[in-house]
A and B are shown apart, each in its own frame.
Chain A
Amino acid sequence: MVHIKRLQEDGADILAVVGEIDASSSIELDLAIAKSVGEGSTKILVDCSALEYISSAGLGVFMSYIEEFRDKNIRMVLFGMKEKVANTFQILGLADLLHISSNKLEAKKLLNELSV
């Protein structure tokens, strides 16, 4: 089960993901990101500090946006991952494809750097 909260800070959309993302709940993640993009956000922060587990389907959601974001000039930074979750990203090679920071402050900094 997953719960996704959305709030805005300094012109960036923050999606706080709480719980576990498996095959069924990955749809919610997809919808949340799609909604954020649909409303015109170009800066998206994903707060993973309360994300306990992510399955390959969940990783697939992040993966599926990589090219779209590059084309539309949308920047997304993930931050606050637990070690186990970070490992999953690492093993799959997604860590090199996505922007991942350790905390929110750094994430914002990275987001601004990318925007320049």
Chain B
Amino acid sequence: MKTKALIRLTFLAAIVTWLVMLFSDVTVLFSDLKGLTPDVPVWLPKVMLDLYVISVFYYYKFKIERDESLNFTDLLWRVFATGLVATVLSLSLRVLDFLLGSTKLSSNIFFIDVEYLVNLGLLLSFLIAAGTCWKRLILYQKSKWLIRGWLVFEMLLLIVLLSDSLQIIFKEWLFTSISILTGLLSLVLSANMKWVAYLNFKQKWTSLLLLLLSFFYLGYFLFTVIHFSDEIKLQSMAFLDFQNHVFNIYLFSFVMLYSIFSFLVILFNLPTSSVFEQKLEEVVNFQRISQSVQTEQSEESVYKILLESSVSSVFADAAWLEIKGEQQQSRLQTYQITESDAHKIQEHLNGRHVKGILDQSSDKTKNLSNHLATLKGTRFRSLMAFPVQVKGEKIGTLALLKELPEGFNKEMTQIVSAFANQAGISIENFRLLKEAIQNERYKEELKIAKMVQKSLLPDKLENDNDFEISAFSESADEVGGDYYDTLRINDHQVGLIIADVSGKGTTAAFHMSQMKGIFHSLAQEALEPKVFMMRANQALKYCLERGSFISATYFVVDSKEKMIYYSRAGHCPVLIYRAASRKADYLIDKGAALGMVKGKDYCNFVETNTLPYASGDIMVLFTDGITEAKGPRGEEFGLDLLKKTITEVVIRGPKEIQEHLIKKLYEYTGTEEIDDDYTILIVKFR
């Protein structure tokens, strides 16, 4: 918004200064012819010209220099368009002149002066527009010195401009040195032609045409302005003669000089422009391959880009890309060649026992052109093959074909090699990304499973006047399926279960929740433990998949009869400590895990056992994570050590016994990190 206002302001200033210049100059001329003293100061036209130049300079500065959206041809187009508008205006004035014929008006010196000033204004605005555009082109790739050089150049032009109008007469040597300096600077600045290299072939032709037309405008205006000024000079010298204005000449020379330089440089760059375009395209292709991961494309698209880029970089007539699939079968992507032709060439090379990468054995780029000569019925005479590797493992082959013999040079080989490498990296990134996402999902799943598992274990265990229970359960990073729970059946009976679901992860947590449901529904019915197991087996029959099972032991503690009824279904044996005999023993009994026998005959594989208890007796329930915990040398904690550890602390309370056992266990494994699930229940009878 601010720039727009400035553009309008400077435009207005230019118009006003030009009008003032026009009227003052005509007045001065009139007074001179009539021999009068002019009403306006003689210097006014010149000062107005300076102000006009400065206004136009700023107008273009805001309009062209600050506009970032303009590219090189746009800049040249601006110069051309400004020139076109100026020329059309000037020509229409000429047409008017022509229509008037040789009337009095047309030969009137004042009319000629007006015409002259119009043309001068147009010429200057064209020159300044061109100068501003040239500035942008020169400063395209800036350096500190270049910017300083340009600043000095602008300053010198300003000094010249002011000295012209303010009638400061420099000493001869000073004037000469300023002229030489300006000339040298224009030459040095004009050598900055880096932008030319960025034009493509078509843009170069456009630029040449635009520059040529600009030359025409410059010539036309120079001619017109000189023509008019000469005509006025015949009658009076008291007008704004641009030829006395050194600034105009400098500016004109500079614009001309840079135009000529540009024209020649573009012209001579025409033949090599295709090479530069090629390089630029290679860079773009590189980006496409390497950015394909970010843009969420697939491996397929990387292969496609690789094939396309390679073909266009080396001007291959045909190509194929063979990618080894996951099951060792390979897929072909072809360009300008049928799959059968590609296979024919592969077979031909294999038939001749050519050791190359086409038979998927070598990992080096190979020029296999020699071998094509012996293959009849193919139009190709050059063949180049490149490996595509991911993590040092070859996943495919890129083959490029040409109809010309010796069609590939070293540079082409290098660039395609680079493409193939980049494609390999992209594919690797794809796979890593996929793995990372997969891992993230697994982690998330495990987190959920672990949460579910934790929530399935009871916060509080049922206690009784007769016994006290302490439980400990810790699971490894992987979610296990350890489960324990208690339920009061009636005032003298408490149900107690410990179970271990085979397998790990989400399914284990899922089965654990099924077990919890079964326990809570069956235990309420005050079933005999054997019947409990049979019904649980029946319920789980259709829930457990092939090969998975749940080991469990179910207890009913009867405080009235001081008896424990239990049934073991494949779970770790119960350790019982008798206070009377001061001996601990594992209970030997039979029982198959839940889910092992699907039929009705499961009743033959489980039994109810009875066990009296007395005060001070301890019952230890555990899962196999405890006994299978490994020491630093790989030996398991084992049943014997478990028994020994418990017997050490039988006089303590259940909580302390449990803590002692866990402490000993960690001491044994030598680490706090566990790789299995540890679950312990200590039941101590009062």
Chain A interface (Cβ within 8 Å of chain B)? 23, 30, 56-57, 59-61, 63-64, 66-67, 91-94, 96-97
Contact = CB atoms under 8 A, between A and B. Distances in A.
A76 to B, nearest CB: 15
Interface string B547-571: 1110100000000000000000111
Contact of A96 (B500, B502, B590, B598): B590
Contacts, number: 60
Contact of A93 (B503, B591, B624): B591
A36 B592 CA distance: 26
B629 interface: no
A60 B597 contact: no
A94 B571 CA distance: 11
Contact of A57 (B502, B573, B593, B624): B502
Given A56-B503, A61-B547, A97 B570 contact: no
B504 interface: yes
B605 interface: yes
A97 B605 contact: yes
A24 to B, nearest CB: 11
Interface of B: 500, 502-504, 546-549, 551, 569-573, 590-593, 596-599, 605, 624
Contacts of A56: 500, 502-503, 549, 551, 624
Contacts of A23: 503-504
Nearest to A90: B590
Contacts of A67: 598-599
Nearest to B599: A67
A92 B592 contact: yes
Given A56-B500, A91-B571, A93-B605, 15 more contacts: A23-B503, A30-B547, A56-B551, A59-B502, A63-B596, A66-B596, A67-B598, A67-B599, A93-B570, A93-B591, A93-B592, A93-B593, A93-B596, A94-B570, A96-B605
A7 to B, nearest CB: 25
Contacts of B571: 91
A66 B597 contact: yes
Given A92-B592, A93-B593, A60 B549 contact: yes
13 contacts: A23-B503, A57-B547, A60-B502, A66-B596, A67-B598, A67-B599, A91-B570, A91-B571, A93-B592, A93-B596, A94-B570, A96-B590, A96-B605
Contacts of A94: 570, 592-593, 596
| 7 nearest A-B pairs in the assembled complex, by CB-CB distance | A93-B592, A60-B547, A64-B547, A56-B502, A92-B570, A93-B570, A64-B546
Contacts of A59: 502, 549
Contact of A97 (B548, B572, B573, B592): B592
Contacts of A93: 569-570, 590-593, 596, 605
A61 B504 CA distance: 15
Given A23-B504, A60-B502, A92 B547 contact: no
A60 to B, nearest CB: 4
A7 B384 CA distance: 49
A19 to B, nearest CB: 14
Among B548, B549, B591, B624, max chain A CB count under 10 A is at B549
Among B504, B551, B596, max chain A CB count under 10 A is at B596
Nearest to B593: A92
Among A56, A61, A64, max chain B CB count under 10 A is at A56
Contacts of B599: 67
B598 to A, nearest CB: 6
A106 to B, nearest CB: 22
B547 A96 contact: no
A91 to B, nearest CB: 6
A30 B548 CA distance: 13
Given A23-B504, A97-B596, A63 B569 contact: no
A23 B596 CA distance: 17
Nearest to A60: B547
Contacts of B500: 56
Contacts of B596: 63, 66, 92-94, 97
Contacts of B549: 56, 59-60, 63, 92
Contacts of B503: 23, 56-57, 60
Contacts of A64: 546-547
Contact of B551 (A66, A92, A96): A92
B67 to A, nearest CB: 66
A97 B503 CA distance: 21
B501 to A, nearest CB: 9
B537 to A, nearest CB: 11
B640 to A, nearest CB: 12
A52 B494 CA distance: 40
A57 B551 CA distance: 12
